[in-house]
Structure 1
Amino acid sequence: MPAIEITNATKTYGDRTVLKGVDLAVEAGTVTVILGPSGSGKSTLLRAVNHLEKLDEGYVALDGELIGVRVKGDRLKELPEREILRQRSRIGFVFQAFNLFPHLTILENVTEAPISQGVKPAVAREHARTLLARVGLSDKEDAYPRQLSGGQQQRVAIARALALDPEVILFDEPTSALDPELVGEVLAVIRTLAGSGRTLVVVTHEIGFAREVADQVVFIDEGVVLEQGPPSQVLDHPQHPRTRDFLGKVLA
């Protein structure tokens, strides 16, 4: 059974359908990179995985458990918020814009979620310090987000996503808000996570990273998956004309 199974994912905003019946399976312990032009539905699909976006049709399952909904008769019914929060603890999310709490120190940002879920503060702090060391920020625990560079803030966001020991981590264009010289430090942390056995799904335009790290590359355009497969196939020998056109422009 795939770790993540997306079935007939459909989402409409007003008169615009951004996801058009997407089906996608992500195997446990693998890295999936999602590529596509702006407005193609990549981020909406990613946010649907942990129910930050509610699908109009279709569903997402993690290890066979429906995310955000349950079956009631022949329909899907929204779960209570506390159940959705429990499910989200299994799925870490790293946002494009960091989304750190500006009034909390770096250590407090990483410990906030575990403590809110009942972890003893001393235990949460010890684990947070281990995670900050893992992303190279042991000396920044007492700093505030405004005192860090963008790359450092994103590394804190990755540590925060790891704080609840999730099975899956989702990255929504984690380097797009960074200056070019800061991109490498964030990708280096994600490369390390790729070898940890966790399931990663990464929306990005970093083609070199996708070629090096991904087990599966998915190309989506106008809410439809046009091509998917190993990097050697999708990146080096794309079959769909739209994929070839996109890669040609990005690589140029």
Structure 2
Amino acid sequence: MRAGTTRPTAGGGTSRPLLRVRGLHKRFGAQTVLDGVDLDVGEGEVTVLLGPSGSGKSTLLRCLNHLERPDAGFVELGGEIVGYGYEHGKLRELSARAVTGQRARVGMVFQQFNLFPHLTAVENIVEAPIAVHRTPRAEAVARAAELLDSVGLAGREGAYPRELSGGQQQRVAIARALAMSPRLMLFDEPTSALDPERVGEVLAVMKDLARSGMTMIVVTHEVGFAREVADTLVFLDGGRVVESGPPAELLTGARHERARAFLAAVL
């Protein structure tokens, strides 16, 4: 976090959004990928990030749980600054162990499923709760079975990734993220690697999560999903938020020229 950026506040109040992002910058070499992003997401809200390739959507997600270290600005989740803490009145980067503890509150589902190929579906799900939360194995296995049932995979507890379709593997990945009881779920184009006939089964699980009140930030080009589920659409271009609003407004009456051109291409 660069000196001189907007100072985060300590503690959380009832009126504070679950997630606050202020002045977020990220560069890779000479390339500016995020250029002063501000974002608020309330508890139980679904925010969909739209924009062309290279607009900074995936990098923004990775900054939210400190997989990427911002060059400036801050991310605050539940009133706690992600990746940093105050020591003797000064803001300092947390240890890797402390950051890992913070990440346990944020579930992330990637484009690729990232399942361990040598572990069964249940074993993929229980590993993190046992290792991070010290959950007793029997309890973790029972919870994993419940989660597999909730994503439509009851009875596949013993299946290895190679025995599952892409859509089924992605649903296991969602169950694995939910096993940590996150406050926030991040989805980075979760259907982009799927065959078209498998896309619907993953989106159905995500819709169920949204209806259950899970706070979600989703990067996707599935505009139908965004129209049905999102509370807010955020359009990024060149690493900046250029427009945001409810789906009914943004999809039919975008004001920014880049947003209108992008939506005309995908709708």
How does the TM-score come out when normalised to structure 1? 0.97
For 1:169 and 1:131, the matched residues in 2 are separated by 15
Q: Does 1:10 align with 2:25?
A: yes
Partner residue, 2:198: 182
Partner residue, 2:136: 120
For 2:199 and 2:235, the matched residues in 1 are separated by 22
Q: Does 1:70 align with 2:85?
A: yes
For 1:159 and 1:81, the matched residues in 2 are separated by 25
For 1:17 and 1:83, the matched residues in 2 are separated by 28
- Residues 49-96 of structure 1: CA deviation (Å, up to 9, x unaligned): 111111000110001100111245786421011111111111111111
Q: Does 1:158 align with 2:174?
A: yes
**Equivalent runs, 1:48-87 vs 2, <5 Å:** 48-72=63-87, 76-87=91-102
How does the TM-score come out when normalised to structure 2? 0.92
Partner residue, 1:132: 148
Of residues 207, 222, 225 in structure 2, which corresponds to 1:191? Answer: 207
**Corresponding residue SS for 2:59:** helix
For 1:203 and 1:76, the matched residues in 2 are separated by 30
**Equivalent runs, 1:18-33 vs 2, <5 Å:** 18-33=33-48
Instruction: Report the aligned-residue RMSD.
Output: 1.1
Partner residue, 1:170: 186
**Structure 1 residue 2, shift from structure 2 partner:** 0.6
For 1:235 and 1:103, the matched residues in 2 are separated by 43
Partner residue, 2:219: 203
Q: Does 1:42 align with 2:57?
A: yes
**Structure 1 residue 164, shift from structure 2 partner:** 1.1
For 1:144 and 1:100, the matched residues in 2 are separated by 9
Amino acid at match of 2:260: R
For 1:198 and 1:139, the matched residues in 2 are separated by 25
Amino acid at match of 2:253: H
Q: Does 1:88 align with 2:103?
A: yes
**Corresponding residue SS for 1:166:** coil
**Corresponding residue SS for 2:212:** coil
**Identity of paired residues, percent?**
59
For 2:90 and 2:219, the matched residues in 1 are separated by 30
For 2:48 and 2:86, the matched residues in 1 are separated by 30
For 1:48 and 1:219, the matched residues in 2 are separated by 17
Amino acid at match of 2:243: E
Q: Does 1:238 align with 2:240?
A: no
**Corresponding residue SS for 1:138:** coil
- Residues 120-170 of structure 1: CA deviation (Å, up to 9, x unaligned): 000000000000000011121111111111100000000001001111100
For 2:212 and 2:174, the matched residues in 1 are separated by 14
Partner residue, 1:106: 121
Amino acid at match of 1:199: T
- Structure 2 unmatched ranges of 5 or more: 1-15
**Corresponding residue SS for 1:225:** strand
Runs of 4+ aligned residues of structure 1 deviating over 4 Å after TM superposition are 72-75
**Corresponding residue SS for 2:40:** strand
Amino acid at match of 1:114: P
Q: Say which is worse superposed, 206-215 or 139-148, in terms of deviation.
A: 139-148
**Corresponding residue SS for 1:227:** strand
Amino acid at match of 1:60: V
